[in-house]
Amino acid sequence: MKSSKKNQMGAVLFGIAVVILVWHSKIPSEADAVMAASKLAAVGSGVAGAAGPNSGSGPHIAGCPVFPADSVWNTPIDTLKKDKHSEDYIQRMGPALVLHPNFGSDPTNGIPITIIKPGRPRIPITFMYGEESDSGHYPTPEGALVEGGWNSPEDSDRHVIMVDEGRCMLTEVGGMVKQKDGSWGGGAGIKMDLTSNALRAPDKTSTDAAGLAVLPGLLRYDEVAAGEVKHAIRFTTPKTQRLYVWPARHFASRITDPTYPPMGQRFRLRADYDISRFSKENQVILKGFKKYGMILSDNGGPWFIIGEPDKRWSDNDLARLKTLKGEDFEAVDESDWQMLADSGRVDPVALR
């Protein structure tokens, strides 16, 4: 019995020695470190491929994180300093123009989300911007929800957003159209891991001109009903600068005048704006505007925010948000938060 214990102890010590020798024989690369960190995060959270131990505090959909909790999308900006160009941006965007909720109870008003199963068939899709779209097959849009409905004009935005609940994989296609021969086409398409902070390649568009995913910026009724919006909201303006700032990856403008806002610019509702006269639901939205703000994601209508259509929205109540004006917002500077060139993760040291 004693001899057996000695043998077991010897085997353990030998194993430790081998591990030490192997470790010193190879300096781990950054990729090794990232892989190790990912595995540790998954173990800590109890979910394979999880975003990390703090992933439970961010927004979720279909059991998946809508990017990690430390994503720039999901980080409060209420204490950030005001951007030095804020007044210029607001003037260009229209200080007297009103906020426009571009969603509501009508299923054709807003951008819907389709939750799909892992076994959904994959098909090829032909893209207008093929070089800037993610390659490979996409989940079939057959039976999925589309912005504006399938009878909407083929030259409209027609976003199709699908979340694979088994893989926590996001698929977005803009301008989705079924051709006469039965094949599918679109303007651009992206596929993103919702558990990752990885951004798209620099200078590559997405279904939004800023090269960002649409899903993380959508207002959803469920989160308003739960009492808190925990992420920035996507919004548009007619004219932007020929520039993008983190986390954006793409611009869509010829304007070089620095008084115009760049793609990816973050804004928030001013802290002194009185929200007490609004309904409980609208106060949740407005508190989100103060805490998480909005990210300029596309060229479009002035101060247009977007959400998921839901029959539970009160269109009359949402219309009261139109009393907000551009002058009630301000731009913020989040440049100090960027830690890596191709990551949306916020530098934790910068938050101290």
* Domain carrying residue 22: 2-65
Of 43, 65, 87, which residue sits at a domain end? Answer: 65
Say whether both 53 and 96 belong to one domain: no
Q: Note whether 217 and 237 are within 8 A (CB).
A: no
Q: How much is the pLDDT for 40?
A: 31
The single-letter DSSP state of residue 208 is S
**Contacts of residue 348, Cβ cutoff 8 Å, sequence gap at least 6:** 70
Task: Report whether pLDDT(311) > 80.
Answer: yes
Say whether both 16 and 130 belong to one domain: no
Of 22, 47, 65, which residue sits at a domain end? Answer: 65
Q: How much is the pLDDT for 335?
A: 96
Q: What percent of the chain has pLDDT over 70?
A: 84
CA neighbours within 13 Å on the CB side: how many for 82? 12
Segment 99-112 shows an average pLDDT of 98
State the residue for tokens 């799909």.
Answer: 116
Q: How much is the pLDDT for 106?
A: 98
Q: Give CA–CA dist 233/214, Å, rounded.
A: 9
Say whether both 188 and 307 belong to one domain: yes
In terms of Cβ atoms closer than 10 Å to its own Cβ (0-12, 13-18, 19+), residue 33 is exposed
Tokens of residue 42, six digits: 């998954």
Task: Report whether pLDDT(27) > 50.
Answer: no
From residue 297, alpha-carbon distances to 30, 217, 306 in Å are 31, 9, 11
Say whether both 124 and 49 belong to one domain: no
Task: Report whether pLDDT(7) > 70.
Answer: no
Q: How much is the pLDDT for 29?
A: 35
Say whether both 323 and 219 belong to one domain: yes
Say whether both 282 and 156 belong to one domain: yes
152 — pLDDT class (breaks 50, 70, 90): very high
From residue 219, alpha-carbon distances to 27, 257, 284 in Å are 45, 31, 11
Q: Note whether 270 and 326 are within 8 A (CB).
A: no
Q: Which amino acid would we find at residue 294?
A: M
Residue ranges of alpha helices (H) inside 26-66 are 30-45
Segment 320-343 shows an average pLDDT of 98
Say whether both 274 and 324 belong to one domain: yes
Task: Report whether pLDDT(344) > 90.
Answer: yes
The total number of structural domains in the chain stands at 2
State the residue for tokens 């000695």.
Answer: 6
Say whether both 96 and 35 belong to one domain: no
Q: How much is the pLDDT for 57?
A: 83
Tokens of residue 105, six digits: 């109870």
- Rounded to 10 degrees, what is the CA torsion of 206, 242, 246, 211? 0
Say whether both 228 and 342 belong to one domain: yes
Tokens of residue 290, six digits: 């103060």
Q: Give CA–CA dist 216/208, Å, rounded.
A: 12
Respond yes or no on whether the N-terminal peptide bond of residue 238 is cis (omega within 30° of 0). no
Say whether both 124 and 188 belong to one domain: yes
Give bridge partners of residue 164 from the DSSP assignment.
116, 169
Say whether both 52 and 109 belong to one domain: no
- Predicted TM-score (pTM) of the model is 0.84
Beta-strand relationship, 329-332 and 294-299: unpaired
Q: Give CA–CA dist 73/230, Å, rounded.
A: 9
Q: Give CA–CA dist 190/199, Å, rounded.
A: 11
Give 93-102 pLDDT, tens digit per residue: 999 999 999 9
Task: Report whether pLDDT(30) > 60.
Answer: no
For residue 69, give the 3-state DSSP assignment.
Answer: coil
